[in-house]
Structure 1
């Protein structure tokens, strides 16, 4: 009995690591198109998913810092960034003006009910995932400090060199 319990506990502990693929959640884009998250891809190249909210100062600093180097990242690696807003429905009207004002060229998805966030076990934002060219989650990071975007591009480069 103890052995069975130990095996079950081990499997439960490893379960989050086994979740390699993105869960299937239906979201909308900022312009109203429907997208299933399990179909997100970048043509065989890695992509970044960044959970944020308009009211989250560290999130906005992170996305602004990435925006400053994003064109170089795309040219060098082909990576793309998908920003997922967890703003509640009543705040979504603030989102498009903010994205336009910042000049973000990211694909922006809306997760107002937190379905995608919950399916991935995201507790705090900013929260970043890097998904490899095969659609498997290769890296997760929570929080933002100045310069952390450099770690993201390094992880993308590592994936491309494998």
Structure 2
């Protein structure tokens, strides 16, 4: 059992490093997605105002819900300093109807977008959720993070702070 676990950890590490090489340091691919209120958000219209965090998640993902609670705190702290959080739901047609009620019930204040066909998730190589992409004010991808463990938000907060300076 330990060997299987070790192999899985190694595999995820390799995938993570490969993703870093594919997009880290490059310009963030543009996209335009519907938000939960029926409007649209285009990444290129947000770039230049400050750092942006793209967070890929789904309603059925328990670690995503834990992370989003922490991300909401970070968003509240830095939104007036130029930080933008775009939470991109990867829910499909079976679960997409749960997105808006869940976001409203949790009181999340950030923008929630709907990637119904996972087209944007594929552009960013989001093969597992939660998955976050940090973009600087010039539109360059500075950091990628797969998964969530308590405490990850502290490291993210520091990275956002450094981009705000």
TM-score by length of structure 1 reads 0.81
1:147 and 2:142 correspond: no
> Which residue does 1:55 correspond to in 2?
60
Larger radius of gyration, structure 1 or 2? 1
1:117 and 2:121 correspond: yes
Give the aligned CA root-mean-square deviation in angstroms: 2.3
> Which residue does 2:84 correspond to in 1?
80
Residue ranges of structure 2 left out of the alignment (5+ in a row): 1-17
2-structure distance, mates of 1:44, 1:93: 31
2-structure distance, mates of 1:60, 1:85: 11
> Which residue does 1:16 correspond to in 2?
22
Shift of the alpha carbon at 1:82? 0.7
1:29 equivalent among 16, 21, 35: 35
1:129 equivalent among 126, 133, 145: 133
1-structure distance, mates of 2:156, 2:139: 17
1-structure distance, mates of 2:63, 2:39: 28
Equivalent residues of 1:41, 1:135 under 8 A apart? no
SS across alignment from 2:70: helix
Residue ranges of structure 1 left out of the alignment (5+ in a row): 1-11
Runs of 4+ in 1 over 4 A off after TM superposition: 12-15
